[in-house]
Amino acid sequence: MKILHVDRNHPLMLEQLQAYGFQNEEDYTSTKSEIEKNISNYDGLIIRSRFTIDQTFLDAATNLKFIGRLGAGLENIDTTYAKEKGIQLFSAPEGNRNAVGEHALGMLLSLFNHLRRADQEVRNGIWKREENRGLELEGKTVGLIGYGNMGKAFAKKLRGFDCEVIFYDLKEGIGNEDAQQVSLQELQEKTEVLSLHTPLTSLTENIIDSDFIASFKKPFWLINTARGKSVVTQDLVEALKSGKVLGAGLDVLEYEKSSFEHLFSNQHQLPEAFQYLIESDNVLLSPHIAGWTIESKEKLAQTIVDKIKQKF
């Protein structure tokens, strides 16, 4: 079986697939249309986020048996059409869930202790202690939306902080020793820290808007290591200004391209709402790297290799 790799990944992927008898070919520079012309020559495709896999591409992939995506989700693939054509789809949320959990925790603790502002002040010769008095996570209620691989990993990290962890998920009966499953209404009544751990779907796109934010009984902190388009940035900014949202840790932004590799198509036209986030000392921003660690790169590759080996 011939596999085409269109994104660079951990070298173990090429090495192990070759050892298992697969033939690897690499193309990291051709355009999508160029690859589309030759995709019928391949049984498998390995991709990260370089381009979207749409119906036209899948129609050209007449011999394709599987697609492996080095990431947690499959949103850059027309999954419905791929399944109709009998193409196996592999993603690897197991590979970077620990990294995402640690990143979310790091953002939360940094926000609670004003580390962004305090660091800049000290670097500028300003020594303020009372103004930077922090909060403790102990005794707080952390509410999660989504309790799959990422949500469970974050909840596990929170276990030692003596805080209450609750979550809302469409799937029923999935609570464990790390978090209690509750209704959306109960989550909105109790939550002091809200963390998103959902894929991007029609149900989760723009879910965090002004109405949703207003439905929370208490002011809260927001952590988003999931998908940027789940949060309406302008509505978040208004909530930050009013104090309804006390601070935000955003690893993802709604302005990202589908490839996740660039933030803006035109870097000279920053949206006004994003400019506010840049200037806010109670907002932490990172470039979609929550699952982007040295260890997760290897884990993601190994997960995809194992799934391919199991099926083929």
Residue 16 belongs to a domain with what CATH number? 3.40.50.720
Residue 116 known to be catalytic:
no
Beta strands 141-145 and 193-196, pairing class: parallel
- Is there a domain that residue 307 lies in? no
The tens place of each residue's pLDDT in the chain, 312 residues long, gives: 999 999 999 999 999 999 999 999 999 999 999 999 999 999 999 999 899 999 999 999 999 999 999 988 898 899 999 999 999 999 999 999 999 999 999 999 999 999 999 999 999 999 999 999 999 999 999 999 999 999 999 999 999 999 999 999 999 999 999 999 999 999 999 999 999 999 999 999 999 999 999 999 999 999 999 999 999 999 999 999 999 999 999 999 998 876 666 666 565 677 899 999 999 999 999 999 999 999 999 999 999 999 999 999
Co-location of 127 and 239 in the same domain: yes
pLDDT of 257: 75
Report the alpha-carbon distance of residue 22 to residue 65 in Å, rounded: 13
Q: Which residue has the tokens 């986030």?
A: 277
Of 91, 121, 137, the position where a domain reaches its end is 91
Q: Annotated catalytic residue: which of 138, 256, 262, 298? A: 256
Residue 84 known to be catalytic:
no
Q: Annotated catalytic residue: which of 48, 102, 227, 254? A: 227
Residue 114 known to be catalytic:
no
Report the alpha-carbon distance of residue 105 to residue 101 in Å, rounded: 6
Q: Which two tokens stand for residue 96?
A: 């970077």
| Structural domain of 17 | 2-91
Co-location of 61 and 122 in the same domain: no
- State how far the alpha carbon of 198 is from the alpha carbons of 25, 202, 279, in Å: 33, 11, 27
Co-location of 208 and 259 in the same domain: yes
Total count of domains within the chain? 2
Of 91, 115, 142, the position where a domain reaches its end is 91
- Is there a domain that residue 64 lies in? yes
Co-location of 69 and 114 in the same domain: no
Could you tell me the pTM of the whole model?
A: 0.93
Q: Annotated catalytic residue: which of 268, 288, 295, 298? A: 288
- Is there a domain that residue 132 lies in? yes
pLDDT of 268: 61
Co-location of 114 and 248 in the same domain: yes
